[in-house]
Structure 1
């Protein structure tokens, strides 16, 4: 309702198909003011000839603009002079009448001028609002196009690395190219899914479900199940969500490749938000790791990337043996990073 009222005010003064209608309606307003003044005659003290005509002039100016307002002011002034200023039923002019008419003319002029400038301001505001809306639409369109092109370029680079792999005979180099290609494709998908022009964050639980499903599909493993537990409607900013998603991707991929390389198993991804501090755990029931395992000392590039991303967020990443076997990849983010 409020928005409808704003749009109505922004369209003022009303432009009718035939301007004569505006003058006709102004006459109706003035006639109503005259009838109301006659009706109020017994209730009013001596004087007040213009009291019921000011609303008619203001309403005409407000709805139809300056010219109908001036027209209404002239008609109302003449009616007041003829019917309610002594001597009545005449246009006799004396100093008192001249002063009253000057007062009326001044008040009506100020009212019309104020209404005119108010409507000009409303019109300019409506123009700026429409311009801002158009700019916002263009910004969103350009942003989406940019994100689309960036993601496509990453996919192209990933495809080029895959093609280059065919001409490499060294197993270590081929594996490195495969890893680089997979990570570029993952970054492209995360970038496309997470960023939006409004700057709003994403529901992290829904995104993690999609992300882990993609990783599992990419691995080609149907004997591994992945479960995600995260607070409902937890929204994180993109500058946190992207590194967090990459850490999840690296940890889940590492669990599939090294923890469950040749047997069925399960992986449980949990995200907890305790007083603004985030704790991420990726728990698997695979081979596990040594009690003294250090991420920085390992040979896995993915784990080193996860450790670097955690440091980027001011957090800490660790890979520990599980209490009942398997391994637990844990990421702890402090309050400042999680906000």
Structure 2
């Protein structure tokens, strides 16, 4: 629970003392003892009075820093010290009017100050709790927005790849140009959207990302995760490249699950100079196929600005994607000079 902040040295002391049982009450006693030291130091001046004035700071600071109940203890302790031990006749009941007025005024003032400062602390605490709730809500909304924005960006990137695939398979050159332009523009929108949510320059460790992807895919039509191995060390890649590589990996995991569920797959990503190479090496079975949706894999490789090579043998299949470490610019637009309608 938050309260009005004391000065930094005092705040540090309070923070260290929080674990001590009854720390606020011990703090109240210490403040009263400090006031007593001041009172004794000023005793030549205040010898004819009871000196309640010196104990007001102890009550006020206790109420402000430690709370209402410790402040009541400080009030009671200060009253006992001044009234019983520092009067004209110590340890005797003072019945004169001056003593009664001083005592009454001190008690009334202390209780009033305690009530006011406790109310202020309560308002501060309510405000702090409200602020914490609003901050938590805002943080949650921001995280939801970021997750939604990330999904939207990934979907736009996938749409760009699908449009590029459609463009490559289109026999009409005009339609192919339109689809290629649409793919390029969608990729630009995807990157702009990623930059808007501050993820443009963000990188992730590919191996950890691929492991989680393989675990998630195992229950959704992918190769069992215990048949997927990883190597190559910790290579960090931009999120856009990780998305493209993840789609290629998912495609091959589903291909192996459908055709060779007993196969083993080794996933590696290495970086040399300005080039990264992802290798999907499948083995442990006979006549292992390449990716089933080769067109999609080629489109994602093209989006990476890379090169795809599939080597099939009697005992395995290697899918190799080499691509630059930097993001490649989208294809230049080539708009039509006439309408298709």
Matched with 2:190 is: 188
Q: Bigger shift: 120-129 or 101-110? A: 120-129
User: 1:242-277 CA distances to partner (integer Å, 9 max, x unpaired)?
Assistant: xxxxxxx99x936xx79xxxxxxxxxxxxxxxxxxx
Q: 1:6 to 1:32 in 2, by over 3 A?
A: closer
- Give the direction of change, closer, same or farther, for the CA distance of 1:91–1:300 in structure 2 (3 Å limit): farther
**Deviation, structure 1 residue 26:** 3.0
Aligned equivalent of 1:135: 137
Cα deviation, residue 166, structure 1 = 5.1
Equivalent positions of 1:239-278 (< 5 A) are 253=332
Look up the match of 1:107: 109
Cα 1:92–1:119, aligned 2, differ >3 Å: closer, same or farther? same
1:154 maps to 156
| Partner in structure 1 of residue 56 of structure 2 | 54
The answer to whether residue 97 in structure 2 is matched with residue 18 in structure 1 is: no
2:53 counterpart SS class: coil
CA distance, structure 1, for counterparts of residue 35 and residue 163 of structure 2: 84
State the secondary structure of the residue aligned to 2:42.
helix
Tell me, yes or no, if the aligned pair for 2:161 and 2:183 is still in contact at 8 Å.
yes
Distance 1:104 1:4 in 2: 27
RCO comparison, higher one (Cα < 8 Å, 6+): 2
With over 3 angstroms needed to count, the CA separation of the structure-2 counterparts of 1:162 and 1:39, relative to structure 1, is closer
Show CA shifts across 1:298-329 (max 9, x none).
9389xxxxxxxxxxxxxxxxxxxxxxxxxxxx
The verdict on how the C-alpha distance between 1:186 and 1:34 changes in structure 2, with shifts beyond 3 A counting, is closer
Q: Give the 3 Å change call, closer, same or farther, for CA 186–125 of structure 1 in structure 2.
A: same
Judged with a 3 Å threshold, the aligned counterparts in structure 2 of structure 1 residues 300 and 219 are, in CA distance, closer, same or farther, namely: farther
- 2:324 paired residue number: none
Secondary structure at the counterpart of residue 52 of structure 1:
helix
Gaps of 5+ in 2: 200-301, 306-328
Corresponding residue for 1:93? 95
Instruction: Indicate conservation of the 8 Å contact 1:161/1:180, yes or no.
Output: yes
Which residue number in structure 1 is paired with residue 71 of structure 2?
69
SS in 1 for 2:54: coil
What is the deviation of 1:170?
Answer: 1.5
Shift of 1:157: 2.5
Structure-2 separation of matches of 1:33 and 1:129: 36
CA distance in 2, matches of 1:55, 1:166: 83
Counterpart Cα distance in 1 of 2:159 and 2:67: 63
Q: Give me the whole-angstrom Cα distance separating, in 1, the residues matched to 2:115 and 2:58.
A: 15
- Distance between the aligned counterparts of 2:136 and 2:49, measured in 1? 55
Tell whether the 8 Å contact from 2:146 to 2:197 is kept in structure 1 after alignment: no
> Is 1:299 the counterpart of 2:337 in the alignment?
yes
Contact 1:15 1:64 in 2 (8 A): no
Q: In structure 2, how many angstroms separate the alpha carbons of the residues matched to 1:90 and 1:96? A: 15
CA-CA distance at 1:104 after TM superposition: 0.6
Trace 1:24-39 onto structure 2 (pairs within 5 A). Answer: 24-39=26-41
TM-score, structure 1 as length reference: 0.51
Change (3 A) 1:171 1:129: same
Per-residue Cα deviation, 1:66-91 (whole angstroms, up to 9, x for no partner): 22211121121122112444455422
Q: Matched residue pairs, number?
A: 208
Structure 1 stretches of 4+ with a deviation exceeding 6 A read 217-220
8 Å contact from structure 1 (residues 49, 81) kept in 2: no
Distance 1:191 1:25 in 2: 55
Q: Normalising by the residue count of structure 2, what TM-score does the alignment of the two structures yield?
A: 0.50
